[in-house]
Chains A and B, each alone.
Chain A
Amino acid sequence: MNEWITHAPILIIAIPLFAAFLTPLVDRVSRRGRNALVFIAVILTLILTLALAKDVFDHGLRIYTLGGGSVDSTLVTLPSGYRLPVRIILEVDGMSAFMVVISVLISFVGLLYSFSHIKENGAGKYYTLFLLMLVGMLGMEVTGDLFNLFVFLEILSISSAALIAFYARGGKPVEASIKYIVISSLAALFVLFAIGLLYGEYDLLNMGAIAKKISLAGEIPFLAQIAFVLFLTSFALKAGAAPMHMWLPDAYGEAPGAISMVLVAATQASLYALLRVCFTIYGAAMDTAVIGGILIILGLISIFIGVTMALIQIDMKRLIGYAAVAEIGYILLAVGVGIFELAKGEISDYSMKALQGGIFHIFNDVMDIGLLFLVVGAVMYVTKESNLNKLGGLAHSMKYSSIFFIIGMAAVSGLPPLNGFASKILIYESVYKVSPLISIIAILASMLMLAIFVKIFHSVFMGPKLTEYERKDAPRLMLCSMAILAAIMIFFGLFPDFVVNNIVNPAVNALVKNLPYISAIGGA
């Protein structure tokens, strides 16, 4: 019975893909059948993902070869006896398992939320695109091949652009979607250019094989340096780092209810691709001071621009979008400090703490910002209004939603005992060693974020009851999905040691030591 766990890396991609192709056919026959089919597909993927993550955290790397004689046969023997890694290989290590759990969990919560507020007209296409978005995210996170990364990146960006423009209310979501697809397609074309450069230099497309060649050479040749710059810029653009963040508030602000949350998980997938290229392919030979400095500067600019632009917004969702830019800035700041302190071949204590804080913050950021988007979506569903000047007094009728908003607000600003505090204190402590000024800026930004969300809370939920809006709370399925997120957030906040030792540490170890990744490919 432990046969199927070896096939788990491909099944978590194949099951949503199969369901995505089956949904338009089932949709013509019955609606409840389509809902059941999508629900069963995501539940099966969730179970397989949790089993795969537990297996990888206990036993180490898991590798899968598509079309090979057995699961481990990664090399192809030419007639002359020379062995090449040319098959498509999926490699799941600690970091991949971490990101896969995040993606499937957020998609499951988003699906529960979508069941209650998607109108029936055209819902079949909505669920097909939703499942394709899940396939794109999972494919980016488990692949071991550079060109496979590009293909799944494009699947993700095309399906999410189609979902942003799904309900064209007055033309604004369509404009946001055009901005998103033009910028994202340009970034993906530059990633393809960089992959071509690496192929021309090394004649290999496999990430582990290129990493082995770079680590044997010891220094990076000129073409690979140009490829690294293109990778860094394009993946940072897709992840929403300032000064390339222009598309992010538009796209998050105009997407329908649950899609904003799943888009946060999608941008984290691009951030994962950036970390994979930085640490695994170029890890042993890159110049740590320069790359670390660039990431620190990008992180600081993102935090500053995100928080200050969020102060002046009057549209609820755009404000949370700018707060999401600031959170990405925290992650980039922590990873930059981690690289800055990383000497060639050894890891200092502060570097490990910074990387732990950054990677833990990826999980916390998705859950916190996701919960805020869900509550704001529920408010928009009940009142059909998203302008802060016109709302007010909703805490009388939407009791549970206001409680969830308080939990999300406290978590984003880093107040104990929620999960935001656990990761942010790791970031503050480790950033202090590089320069105390950066740490002060980070703490000030957290306080400003608390101020921003108190502003929303006061103007939406507090105050006298307005008579324009009917008095009912959000539908029960929406409250259920918010409760799942809040429960996980409180659990992470109360037991951060358990989380850091069992879930975050394998991910950080897998990123920093890339030797198991390379030696699993094997061969010349």
Chain B
Amino acid sequence: MIYQIPFIAVIGLIAVGMYAILFKKNLIKIAIGITIVESGVNLFLITLGYREGGVAPIYTHLPPGTNIPEGMVLPVPQALTLTSIVIGVAVLALILSLIIKMYRKYGTLNAYEMRRLRE
């Protein structure tokens, strides 16, 4: 059961993030919601690669007596997660720049008051 807790945490993080994106009016809270969903997906990717009792998949100063390669955790999901974190940083920088520009135009951060594009 203890090995299922990261997957429950993934579902919880994605649910909290989607609630923040869907139901909050402040633009900064929507941006934080995107970051929370991205953290959830990254946690899911890392948890996929776990092997019980494994060590880090690095050859430098390996603890003596570990099996190569059965005693190491999988390295491919770690590369996928790293790429996803970089992409998340880029998206966050773009969203925050756009929010700064909207604040200077309208003076408010409430998404319902600044809607001009309807129907």
Contacts and interface: CB of A to CB of B under 8 A. Distances in A.
A, B assembled together: yes
Interface residues on B, range: 20 to 34
B106 A171 contact: yes
B14 to A, nearest CB: 8
Contacts of B99: 178
Given A151-B83, A162-B94, A171-B102, A186 B115 contact: no
Interface in B46-103: 48, 76-77, 80, 83-84, 87, 90-91, 94-95, 98-99, 101-102
Interface stretch (A23-31, A188-196, A355-363, A451-459): A188-196
B102 A174 contact: yes
Contacts of A200: 48
B101 A192 contact: no
Given A171-B106, A196-B45, A312-B119, A147 B98 contact: no
A161 interface: yes
A316 interface: no
A196 B38 CA distance: 13
B91 A158 contact: yes
A304 interface: no
Contacts of B45: 192, 196
Contacts of A178: 27, 95, 98-99, 102
B77 A199 contact: yes
Q: Chain A interface mostly helix, strand, loop or mixed?
A: helix
Contacts of B117: 172, 175-176, 250, 253-254
B101 A189 contact: no
B101 A174 contact: yes
B102 A193 contact: no
B87 A196 contact: no
Given A178-B99, A185-B91, A171 B37 contact: no
Contacts of B30: 182
A250 B116 CA distance: 11
B41 A196 contact: yes
28 contacts: A147-B80, A147-B83, A151-B83, A154-B87, A162-B94, A165-B98, A168-B105, A171-B106, A172-B117, A174-B105, A175-B115, A178-B27, A181-B95, A182-B30, A182-B95, A186-B37, A189-B37, A192-B41, A192-B84, A193-B41, A195-B80, A196-B41, A196-B45, A199-B48, A199-B76, A205-B76, A253-B117, A309-B119
Interface of A: 147, 151, 154, 158, 161-162, 165, 168, 170-172, 174-178, 181-182, 185-186, 189, 192-193, 195-196, 199-200, 205, 250, 253-254, 309, 312-313
Given A193-B44, A196-B41, A196-B80, 11 more contacts: A154-B90, A165-B101, A168-B105, A170-B105, A174-B98, A176-B117, A186-B37, A196-B77, A200-B48, A250-B117, A253-B117
